[in-house]
A and B are shown apart, each in its own frame.
Chain A
Amino acid sequence: MSFRFALVGNPNSGKTSLFNEITGNTQYVGNWPGVTVEKKEGRAKKIKDDVKIIDLPGIYSLSPYTLEEIIARDYLVDEKPDVVINIVDATNIERNLYLTTQLVELGLPVVIALNMMDEVEAAKDKIDIDALAKSLGIPIIPTVATKGRGVNELMQKSLQIAQTAAVGSATGKSLNIFNKGIEKYITEAESALAAHLQDIPFNPRWVALKLLEGDLKIIDRLNLPGKLLQEIGQRRDMLEEEYGSDAETIIADARYDFISGIVKKTIERKRSQGALSTSDKIDKVVTNRLLAIPLFLAVMFVVFRITFGALGSFTIDWVDALINGTIAGTINGWLEALGAAEWLHALIIDGILAGLSSILVFVPQIMILFLFLAFLEDSGYMARAAFIMDRLFKRLGLSGKSFIPMLMGFGCSVPAIMATRTLENEKDRRLTIILTPFMSCGAKLPIYALFAGAFFANNQSLVVFSIYLLGIVIAILSGIILRKTVLKGEPTPFLMELPPYRIPTGKGLLIHMWDRGKGFIKKAGTVIFAAAVFIWFFQTFNFSLKMVEDPANSILGVIGRGIAPIFSPLGFGDWKSAVAIFTGLLAKEVVVTTMGILHGLGEVTESSTSLIGAMQTYFTPLKAYAFMAFTLLYMPCIAAFGVIKREMNSWKWTWFAVGFQTAVAWLVAFVIYQVGSLLGF
């Protein structure tokens, strides 16, 4: 038989680890809230039956006020999975059960995976699992998702539940959460609904509760008669009157009372709530008012120092020697032996190989950077970075939470823009989407490596670090401007969970690094490969499709000369730079590919002297810096553009975003070049 199991749980409770363990996938797992922003599907391995596993975004409750909660709730109520696997973090049961009490009310079969049991054991805490299961009326399977412990039992149990549910013996049960006083109003609301059951595709008790809470989403969806809503509204007023608070608060308080009653009876903790853990002690230092920002900058600097220092250069030389020495030599030999035509020879060696090698040499460096980012995220430091930045961001009209998508932007803007879904407020989201591409993504790294290597050989890592900082500073300044103009408003108050620090596992780091880095290798084989052929072709032929002697007369040359004047005030008004900026919209690495093909013609990599020599005739260090600043800031690549469109859900905002970014890029490069020239650089 075929079944669907949905994984639901708080952010950072180990859902993605469990998903990977069940399906054998290697999804990336982070140590900060909000890793899964979209639902993911996989197929359970090691099980005969056909079981689809759906990993839903991490949520704290089923109230529909953030996008993630809406995605998760809509899935549960509309698709009605056969079993809901609720992952509960055993080190934080009380808070996690708040969601559980709401899941049970949906009327779907629920099974709890009590995760992170190893940490409970290490702390010598005791949980009476049988008693807990009995008080909740739900089966509980203890698990350690990261080590695969309990996963088989969990699947067997879920399967068993799904099979019984399929023959109709299991129905949703309700917990005795509410006292008689509140229960009375729920029952009344439920009986008021009884006449409209045919219009309600959900569990009526759950709907009654939601209507009593005044859940606007449900009211909108069900389209119930106004008289009924009015009647339930009266019940709500009476409830609020009786308990002296608003309905939602009364219900939330009742849930926590119910939970704390159970927890008292079934759990014995060694440490008291406020006792300082190791994590707290680290936080005392890391978030210290005076130390926090210098420490953050120092951490980032060390990362860039290593990535762009000796280790980075070594990997570049190694790949360069491999491709341009060994591989190019071999292919050259073959082509000569086959007696290939001159144009084919040129296409393969000068076009494809030159274009690809200009990117592939940087792949190890990108991987090193991603390994560090993975370490920072998996250890829990990223969440602290958001905390540290809130002090600064608040004054700029942004919430510190916006800093997390922005930091992810150092990897790639596409997932970073998707991560803005964790922001609750629409304006905060739009603003963060516009600012995130200012964070220098991995694809721009080859551009800096090329230019910094050619013009700032002695302090390469410092120059690249300054470009990354420039991105952050420009994002902050743009944030202030946009907040005062088109996106007026207060930022949402800062509120997020700080997960405990964890020592990342080697396996976790590698999965994470590979998950992000593989995209760049894939791109090299597809988009960049195609771009290299395209660029070679258009710089070799003119509009009458004749091979040209001087590439300046080629198709690209003519187009480039047409748009180049726009960039003259920025210091790089030559047609080759103009073409590189234009083709860079396909993917930012293509800027380097283009430079490689247009300048190098043959032996082309960052370390090859011919390209550096050629570039040095076009650029000065000042012009090179202005060029790097422009490529850092201007309109992101097509893939990011697509995601901006999807997440903004508006063409107007999408064009505004990329228009703004490009205008800022032009202005910043202009200031750098003009002021720099005045100062005599």
Chain B
Amino acid sequence: MNKVKMPLGFLQSGREGTVKEMHGGNNMCRRLAGLGITCGSRVGVISNNAGGPLILSVKESRLALGRGMALKIMVEEE
């Protein structure tokens, strides 16, 4: 199957993806790494309401991530 890269913010609730690229700048990437998001991590979207932050499942935890940032993380949908 042909996998397409898209921003994490476009994934709907209930979908999962693998992080491929992160374009948030060093500082943001550091913080994300501490919370478990690096290239290659699997990220699930628990909730994605237009306009607000997303709730993600990352490893065994739940993260709230602002929409702006979610648009800068490119994932491949699983």
Contact = CB atoms under 8 A, between A and B. Distances in A.
B1 interface: no
| Interface size grouping (class) on chain B | 35 or more
Given A390-B64, A494-B64, A495-B64, A284 B47 contact: yes
B38 A252 contact: yes
Contacts of B38: 249, 252-253, 256
A93 B63 contact: no
Contact of B30 (A63, A94, A269, A496): A63
Contacts of B33: 61, 98, 248-249, 252, 256
A391 B53 contact: yes
A585 to B, nearest CB: 38
Contact of A61 (B16, B34, B53): B34
A283 B47 contact: yes
A241 interface: no
Interface stretch (A222-230, A272-280, A329-337, A542-550): A272-280
Interface string A464-500: 0000000000000000000000000000011111111
Given A92-B59, A387-B53, A283 B46 contact: yes
Interface in B8-40: 14, 16, 22, 24, 26-36, 38-40
Given A98-B34, A249-B33, A494 B65 contact: yes
A367 to B, nearest CB: 31
Interface residues of A, number: 48
- Interface of B, helix, strand, loop or mixed by DSSP: mixed
B64 A248 contact: no
Interface in A210-257: 245-246, 248-249, 252-253, 256-257
A496 B64 contact: yes
Contacts of A269: 60
A345 interface: no
Contacts of A390: 52-53, 64, 66
B44 interface: yes
Contact of A273 (B44, B50, B53, B66): B44
B55 A95 contact: no
A7 B13 CA distance: 37
A280 B59 contact: no
Given A95-B58, A273-B60, A495 B65 contact: yes
Contacts of A257: 40
Contact of A289 (B14, B49, B69): B49
A60 interface: yes
A273 B65 CA distance: 17
Contacts of A283: 46-47, 55, 62
Residue with the greatest number of chain B CB neighbours at <10 A, chosen from A59, A63, A91: A63
Residue with the greatest number of chain A CB neighbours at <10 A, chosen from B34, B40, B59: B34
Given A246-B26, A495-B32, 15 more contacts: A65-B27, A65-B30, A92-B60, A95-B36, A98-B34, A99-B34, A249-B38, A249-B39, A252-B30, A252-B33, A274-B16, A383-B64, A494-B66, A495-B66, A500-B62
Interface of A: 59-61, 63, 65, 91-95, 98-99, 245-246, 248-249, 252-253, 256-257, 269, 273-274, 276, 279-280, 283-284, 287-289, 383, 386-387, 390-391, 394, 399-400, 424, 493-500
27 contacts: A61-B34, A91-B60, A92-B59, A92-B61, A95-B60, A98-B33, A98-B34, A245-B39, A246-B26, A249-B22, A249-B39, A253-B38, A273-B57, A273-B59, A274-B46, A276-B46, A280-B57, A383-B64, A387-B53, A387-B64, A390-B52, A390-B64, A495-B35, A497-B62, A497-B64, A498-B62, A498-B63
Shortest beta-carbon contacts, A-B, top 5: A60-B34, A494-B66, A274-B44, A92-B60, A391-B52
